[in-house]
Chain A
Amino acid sequence: MRAALESLLRARKLDVTVTDAPGALAPPPERFAPAGGGGLDAALGGGFRRGHLSEVTGAASSGRTTIVVQALAAAAARGEAVALVDACDTFDPVSAAARGLDLARLLWVRESGDAGRALKAFSLILQAGGFGLAVLDLADVPAAALRRFPWPTWMRLARIIEGSETVALLVGSEHLARSARGVTVALEPSIVAWRGAVDRARLFGGVQSSPRIVGGRR
């Protein structure tokens, strides 16, 4: 009962205001949403932190989308509803389903390049709540367009999900924003794997990402 009440107070952000006694309410346990990859989860300490804004950055073909789809698939497999705001409408359901993503649990918002509208749609999804993972894919939006957003824009996103069970994830080609306990998964240029030595019989074998974790204050 006590745990339920504390959880309720935290959800309403009243855990600090109801009492002055330090430690009256135990600090909330870390809640992680596993990203679906063993190595990445280990590097993240269990997964992406719930209630925080994290990001996945990297150049083209560095494996950003693969990591995001893995995280979406893992959340959907846990029975959570997930959302993807696709700022440039580049999401490919066929290859995502092949990675194990349950498309029926994915709310897909297709935007045709307007980052402002994509941000507003993402904000609406976060405000609605109930999603385990919400992703805003800005990877193909020009950096100049993203720099026009004032800094508080990202902090407002972080504030919306604070204390909730939702993981908010930004995808971009360079660092955008993260909340205090959020992380940046920076992907270094990847190694491209090919199968077959002969030109005529060669097959593309995928990309091997090397993520570097930044932030995530413990």
Chain B
Amino acid sequence: MNGRVPSYDDLMPGIPDEVDARSTSQLALFLRDTVNGSNNARTSDPGELPAKDSSALFSGCSTPSLFACLRIANHAPTADCDRPASAQAPAEQVRLIAVARDFSPRVMMASAREVLLDVSGLGRLIGEPPAIAAALARSMKAAGITAQVAIAATQTAARLLAAQGPDSSMARFPGIPVIDLQELETLPPAMNHRDRARPYETFERWGIATLGDLVALPAAELSSRLGRRGVALQRLARGLDPRPFVPDGETPRYIGRLELEWPLETLEPLSFVLARLLEPLSAALERADRGAAAIRLELRLTTRALHARVLQLPAPMRDPRVLRTLLLLDLESNPPSAAVDVVTIELDPAPARITQFSLLERALPSPETLSTLTARLSALVGESRIGSAVLVDTHRPGAFAMVRFAPEARGANGAKRADGAEGAGAEGAGIEGAAVLRRQRVPPAIRVRVESGRPVYVAAARRGMPQGAVLQAAGPWRTSGGWWAASDAGRGNGIGPVPSPVSSKPAAAGDGGQPRRGEGGWNHDEWDVALTCGAVCRIFQDPASQRWFLEGLYD
């Protein structure tokens, strides 16, 4: 919009050509279908419902969508009927929304007095649309709300029907006054009252009084005289929706809380508590066709401290056994410091996962399986020591980063592999393509005898390492880097490279491969040597300290 006030054309989309507006017969057919697909299930009292019409009225409804409109009757007119509910929020409105939410999670405030709800899936539970309308009317009566109910295949038709009086029938749909469309229009706030009323004055001059009259007008001529607004009004008169149904964002929370009669000190009894909390939450997620994207566990301890854990799941899932296993494995790795008094679990809902399998590709482990496996492996070897390796953009020998293991579609991975191969070629002397290196994460110091500037004998510092006279040697190749930021490099970047011993002493073992402060730079003179023991090694000398280290073995 570039900051300008949105025009009417911006707000109202173009009319699709599913109906030829120039063909009177098609319009009549469409109107009939709309009317049949709508209903006369409008009622303010279940007793008024003409049961004999219920089957015939919806027989022509081919669309799976079905919307109900609840419209508060005798509502005091306000200056702006389209103000959102949150602006006014009278008690009646709140009760109306509560009634709507009892029937469907997909609820939308259409105006200050109208609530739309998607009742598409209620057929199996309640019955035909007239029965749904009757059930809604009963619920509203029980809640003390005086409101009209209408069900139709489109939001617009439902709203128009609900706006009619209690004594009107479905046959009157084409006879609904055109002026009733005014409430359904979405116009720019800056538009003045005169412009707002202009097309209706034109219709009055033309003698167009009802929706049926408006629908019968040729769309092209209507467009040439009234512009896109005229065509949009005709579209509304057909019962078509100007915008899709977007449920209000008030999503239900999935929280379970249990105060224990006595504190639990071990995980085994806690697993039963977790199962008891997770099963109803998972069932609620299943009813809403949702999965848990994250689990928030809060344990109140006997010391009054809170032990909170948040598990981000790789894909929405709702199997209570999987969720419980993940929680237990996480608690095994991060146990609470005292006995547990109160357990609270909250699941973050997300749209359920849709899985499309292929006959042409081998199935990968499911996210549930991978989550459980990853959690078990994390508990066994440590969270930072499992995952997928990712090459990083550096010439540092052996640099890589660890990320969560999440195999994806082959297309995406193909690109990644190409990148990785390119990055790999940048390091070393181009020999990796010939043999794979078994790299020492912490290069052990070795003793090397040098003659005429070339290594002639390698002596290991400990048992099990290769040693012997050098049969062949290739080198040296100098590689250095990170000297410009030797004190800062490697901090907090997640890289797991070999900590290069730029100082005279080799890096300490057991640091998990994480670079330490002050070890960001490296400076190596590398050699490839074949020893009499049969091993082919990559060794290097630190020019500063003149000490030798074993970088790895070719294997």
Residues on A facing B (Cβ under 8 Å): 59-66, 69, 76, 78-81, 89-112, 117, 120-121, 124-125, 128-132, 139-140, 142, 165, 189-190, 192-194, 196, 199, 202-207
Contact = CB atoms under 8 A, between A and B. Distances in A.
B381 A97 contact: no
19 contacts: A61-B553, A63-B555, A79-B362, A79-B364, A90-B441, A91-B389, A92-B436, A92-B439, A93-B391, A94-B391, A94-B424, A97-B424, A103-B389, A107-B387, A130-B363, A139-B438, A140-B438, A203-B430, A207-B554
Interface in B276-303: none
Contacts of B391: 93-94, 97, 103
Contacts of B369: 128-130
A204 B538 CA distance: 10
Contact of B365 (A66, A81, A89, A110): A81
Given A81-B364, A89-B513, A90-B552, A206 B439 contact: no
B197 interface: no
Given A79-B362, A97-B420, A98-B425, A108 B389 contact: yes
A111 B420 contact: no
B432 A98 contact: yes
B337 interface: no
Given A98-B433, A99-B436, A204 B416 contact: no
B86 interface: no
B473 interface: yes
B135 interface: no
A100 B421 contact: yes
Interface string B405-445: 11110100110110011011101111111111111110000
B189 interface: no
B8 interface: no
A120 B423 CA distance: 33
A207 B437 CA distance: 11
A94 B396 CA distance: 11
A149 B425 CA distance: 40
Given A108-B387, A204-B554, A124 B434 contact: no
A141 B450 CA distance: 31
B492 interface: no
B407 A81 contact: yes
Interface centre among A61, A91, A99 (most CB of B within 10 A): A61
A40 B457 CA distance: 35
B474 A203 contact: yes
Contact of B400 (A63, A94, A121, A139): A94
Greatest chain A CB density within 10 A among B386, B399, B408, B533 is at B386
A110 B381 contact: yes
B530 interface: yes
A78 B424 CA distance: 22
B366 A60 contact: no
B534 A189 contact: yes
Nearest 9 Cβ contacts at the A-B interface: A206-B434, A130-B365, A93-B389, A98-B424, A95-B432, A204-B528, A65-B555, A97-B420, A98-B432
B362 A104 contact: no
A91 B390 CA distance: 13
Contact of B408 (A91, A95, A97, A104): A104
Contacts of A92: 398, 436-439, 552
A200 B373 CA distance: 50
Contacts, number: 215
B231 to A, nearest CB: 50
Given A95-B436, A98-B421, A204 B400 contact: no
A214 to B, nearest CB: 20
Given A92-B398, A92-B438, A98-B424, 7 more contacts: A66-B435, A81-B407, A92-B439, A111-B381, A121-B377, A128-B372, A129-B369
B381 A60 contact: no
A99 B553 contact: no
Contacts of B428: 94-95
Contacts of A64: 555
B347 interface: no
A65 B437 CA distance: 8
B417 A124 contact: no
A207 B386 contact: no
Contact of A109 (B377, B533, B555): B377
A107 B440 CA distance: 20
B396 to A, nearest CB: 10
B442 to A, nearest CB: 10
A30 to B, nearest CB: 17
A203 B555 contact: no
Interface string B62-76: 000000000000000
B361 interface: yes
Interface string B355-384: 000000111111001101100110011000
B389 A107 contact: no
B212 interface: no
B435 A63 contact: yes
A124 B427 contact: no
B122 interface: no
A187 to B, nearest CB: 9
B405 A79 contact: no
Contact of A79 (B361, B425, B552, B555): B361
Contacts of B424: 94-95, 97-98
Contacts of A80: 362, 364
A124 B555 CA distance: 27
Given A60-B466, A66-B435, A189-B534, A106 B389 contact: yes
Contacts of B405: 106-108
B472 interface: yes
Interface string B450-468: 0000100000000010100
Contacts of B410: 79
A194 B429 CA distance: 13
Nearest to B434: A206
B555 A62 contact: yes
Contacts of A61: 534-537, 553-555
